[in-house]
Amino acid sequence: MVTENEFLAEYKLSDYERPSVTADVAAFMIRSGEKTSYRKDPEHKLSLLLIRRGGHPYKGMWALPGGFMQSDETVEECALREIMEETSVRPVSIMPVGIFSQPGRDPRGWIISSAYVSIISEESVKQVACDDASDAQWFNVSFEEEEDGIFRLSLSYEDIVLNAVLAEKSASFGRTMFDIVDSGSLAFDHAAIIAAALMALRSAAKSFETVFDFLPDKFTLSALQKVQETIMNVSMLPANFRRMVSKYVEETGEYLRGDGHRPAMLFRRRKTPVK
Amino acid sequence: MVTENEFLAEYKLSDYERPSVTADVAAFMIRSGEKTSYRKDPEHKLSLLLIRRGGHPYKGMWALPGGFMQSDETVEECALREIMEETSVRPVSIMPVGIFSQPGRDPRGWIISSAYVSIISEESVKQVACDDASDAQWFNVSFEEEEDGIFRLSLSYEDIVLNAVLAEKSASFGRTMFDIVDSGSLAFDHAAIIAAALMALRSAAKSFETVFDFLPDKFTLSALQKVQETIMNVSMLPANFRRMVSKYVEETGEYLRGDGHRPAMLFRRRKTPVK
DNA sequence: CAAATAGTGTCTCTAAGACAATATCAC
DNA sequence: GTGATATTGTCTTAGAGACACTATTTG
């Protein structure tokens, strides 16, 4: 009869083959563009952080930030650590997207990826120096269904344009997964991870859970609406949007002025949605 | 200058420490109980498959079915394989619950778990011999919020009752996670996995995506309603339930008779929700 | 004043909840 | 007939979409 302690003393995990595990993060930010007129609000664009790979494999190609998990942390902590290393910003929240474990997805060997979406506010990123020659850059994102079940993902940064094509694989339980038709020069299976991350983001944004993380503590309702519209790729009537979010926000009494039109009240997120 | 092929030929994954990865599955079934009257519909109970551990660690305690992932499969395939080994049933669907990777969660060493919910129809399980002396048994499930943020999970099979207590950790993005207050004699952190799986199941059932997988191809609307009510732990008026699911089902024209009351039409799932 | 956004009110339509009423069977 | 479920219809209410209208600012 072997006791549990005796068993554990003898136990060798090395008897079994093990995968390496990475946490890869699709970090999104919503950027406001150039002011085209002194009083017109600028365009807002969804952008995604990509890293140019400095070493093999996929050397010189763009990939999601990520890294190998260590034994003294959870996968979520690893994901947060990777984002902070690249942006110096601690994301307000991260959300799991799924595990990517297709055999052969990494030419280095058996490496599976646990993917996350994170959301970073433009305010916090602005404080970090943005080096144009850096290997980390924010790409503008466009993601649309071209025909039934076929999606085009376009990522652009200055004159670099990455065009990936994806086929919807399964839509079970609100988490859509994709097969890569054309990787668009993105490293590994990262095109599929990005597409799944975008779908997860949109799905979460349906219930106003996600949106606030893109904004500072105090915000105007039209800023909030812009964020929501940018994520969901839709447009809404301001009057209706106000009604819908009214449960989740509260007035601060402060106003934002100086924009060539009526000042807007600043709101903050309400901890407990009421009414 | 090293080419990618030269790099890969030299590359050794073994330089890095790696975790073992298991896929653990919370497989749910909805069981109908004893007929208390010749015409009254029996009670329906949500049940969960647990395995009595035959070896260390946690020898003799109950745990979720699961096993180590292999390099020639995805984690999802591993999860499906484990369920089929235990039940001889191929689940209609599996849904990811999350990754459980807290350091120290497994006394054998660095082992992380990718958890899934699966749903099995009572019909398919009935065809498999159920051995009372077996190490695999279906436990009745009850899961309720006792006070704010504190949940009690009760699992019972004959005279065995496992009572776990869990504290809500984070509810971000509709995926609730739990800390274990009392494991209720469940192995590893499986009490937390089961709780998270139940929340994922309820959340998915909100949109009528999940429910059909508990039933055979043809079913009556009240059977469907019973399933929905059992998962969500609520009760609904039959008239309203019919209206709500009407988009997702279609008539077969066949009737189920012989139950001491008006025969019910059998419906099937509609591939494309219309109307 | 013109152009732009901020904010309010109201109409309609749809979907969900409550409930009343009828239908059909096995015993 | 009795007791059970099956099925249909209707009333009410809550919320989303559309839209008209007013308010306030800066060049």
Write the pLDDT tens digit of every residue in B164-174. 999 998 776 76
Which residue range is the domain that position B155 belongs to? Answer: 20-206
Other Cβ atoms closer than 10 A to A160? 13
What are the tokens at A143?
């993601």
Angle between the N-to-C axes of helices B190-205 and B221-232, in degrees from 0 to 180, rounded to the nearest 10: 140
Q: How confident is the model at residue B161 (pLDDT cuts 50, 70, 90)?
A: very high
Q: Please identify, among A170, A191, A206, the residue that sits at the C-terminal boundary of a domain.
A: A206
How many CB atoms are located within 10 Å of the residue A32 CB? 13
Domain finish residue from A175, A206, A237:
A206
Taking alpha carbons only, the member of B234, B231, B237 closest to residue B210 is B231
* Measured distance CA(A82)–CA(A21) in Å, rounded: 13
Interchain CB distance below 8 Å, B207 and A11: no
A174 and A258 both lie in a single domain:
no
CATH code at position A262: 1.10.10.10
Same domain? B242 vs B189: no
Rounded CA separation A62/A185 (Å): 7
Same domain? For A120 and A215 the reply is: no
Q: Flag whether B216 is in a domain.
A: yes
* Nucleotides, chain D, CB distance < 7 Å: 3-10, 15-20, 23-27
**Using a CB cutoff of 8 Å and minimum separation of 24, what contacts does A259-267 make?**
A259/A39, A259/A41, A260/A38, A260/A39, A261/A39, A264/A220, A264/A221, A264/A222, A265/A220, A265/A221, A266/A218, A266/A219, A266/A220, A267/A218, A267/A219, A267/A220, A267/A221, A267/A224
On whether both A84 and A196 belong to a single domain, the answer is yes
Q: Is A181 exposed, middle or buried (0-12, 13-18, 19+ CB in 10 A)?
A: middle
Confidence band for A15, pLDDT divided at 50, 70 and 90? low
Residue B10 lies in a domain: no
Determine the average pLDDT of the residues in A171-190. 90
Pair A245, A124 in one domain: no
> Within this chain, do residues A122 and A233 fall inside the same structural domain, yes or no?
no
B200 and B252, same domain (yes or no): no
Give me the number of domains chain A comprises. 2
Name residue B162's amino acid. L
For chain A, give me the number of helices (H) and strands (E)? 6, 13
Q: What percent of chain B has pLDDT over 90?
A: 69
Residue B117 has pLDDT above 70, yes or no: yes
| Domain identity same for A202 and A227 | no
Compute the nearest-CA separation of A203 from chain B (Å): 9
Pair (A239, A107) in one structural domain = no
Q: Do A8 and B73 touch (CB under 8 A)?
A: no
**Greater model confidence, B217 or B124:** B217
With H, G, I as helix, E, B as strand and everything else as coil, classify residue B165. strand
Give domain status of residue A146, yes or no: yes
Are B168 and B227 part of one and the same domain? no
Do B51 and B158 form a contact (C-beta atoms < 8 A)? no
Final residue of a domain: which of A173, A206, A239? A206
Which residues of B are less than 8 Å from A16 in CB distance?
20, 68
Asked, for residue B12, whether it belongs to a domain, the answer is no
